[in-house]
Amino acid sequence: MRSERTPFVGGPLDGRVLPVLVGPTGKPPAVYRVPVPGDDVQPDRVYVYRLTPTGYTRLLRLPRGWSYVYDPDAGD
């Protein structure tokens, strides 16, 4: 499978650029979930990132690139 280096904005992965597997169209998944195991004090957590376009082409308004933005309300 092919991967694309995708930046993350906000949350615990802020500023990181990670390789994300892309589908046959070259678009990363719409939601990226990061499971974090808990310990004795903290329960297990899941950080949720939503895919957003980073920009658009001028003529056809097609997405120019993708980034993931932290969604604090969607955590399980």
Sheet holding 17-21, edge to edge: 17-21, 3-9, 63-70, 45-56, 31-36
Q: Please give the pLDDT value at position 25.
A: 85
Band (75; pLDDT cuts 50, 70, 90): low
pLDDT tens digits, one per residue of 36-51: 888 888 899 999 999 9
Residue whose structure tokens are 């906000």: 10
pLDDT tens digits, one per residue of 55-70: 999 999 888 889 999 9
By the 8 A CB rule, do 72 and 47 touch? Answer: no
